[in-house]
Amino acid sequence: MTAEMVRTLYRYSAWATARIFQTATRLSPAELASPSGASFSSVRETLVHIMAAQWIWLSRWNGTSPTSMLDPREFPDLASIRARWDQIEADTQRFVATVTDAELAKVVEYRNTRGERWAYPLWQQVVHQVNHATYHRGEVGISRPRVDSRALGPDRGRHAAIRRDRDRRRARQGRRVSQHPR
């Protein structure tokens, strides 16, 4: 796993997260809080979990092992989730922008929320975090009929096609085109 591959995965994950919020705004507060039948009790709690997992992994990569996840009660609505997640996303993008191939190969040790010691290569941890978020975005799409599941669980191929089309439009307009592998 190379640093450029990690950056591509995280561009995808940020794109998919933005789509989650765009689509979740169609839900009423009651629908966001109602039982979802998935891993967490509601769409809101699932979104908080995805955000909290991204935060906890980023903290671990920066040398801190939080002893608990973020508390869903601190995020009663989409606006509060979005405000916190925007900061986490910015911090994540800064991290992946500077990570090197050599750093990805290094074993990173951390303690989980139960205090158990774990250690494995950073590249495995960053891939796990993206896969974890993708899994739970898919759960949100399945749990809510009013939510367009294609928007919540977009695949990597769709993301690449959207970026390619955007880059083609920019090139025709004489504007800067993204520099990333297709």
Q: Each residue of 110-168: pLDDT tens digit?
A: 999 999 999 999 999 999 999 999 988 877 766 655 454 444 444 545 555 555 565 66
Residue with tokens 């009651």, as numbered in its chain: 30
Beta bridge partners of 108: 120
Q: What is the mean pLDDT of the chain?
A: 84
Domains, the chain, with CATH or none = 3-172 (1.20.120.450)
Q: Token digits for 136?
A: 């739970």
Report which DSSP code applies to 114. T
* pLDDT for the residue 178: 55
Task: Give the pLDDT band (50/70/90) at residue 4.
Answer: very high
Alpha-carbon span 22 to 24, nearest angstrom = 6
Mean pLDDT for 76-94 is: 96
Q: How many CB atoms lie within 10 A of CB 70?
A: 20
- Structural contact between residues 95 and 14, judged by C-beta atoms closer than 8 angstroms: no
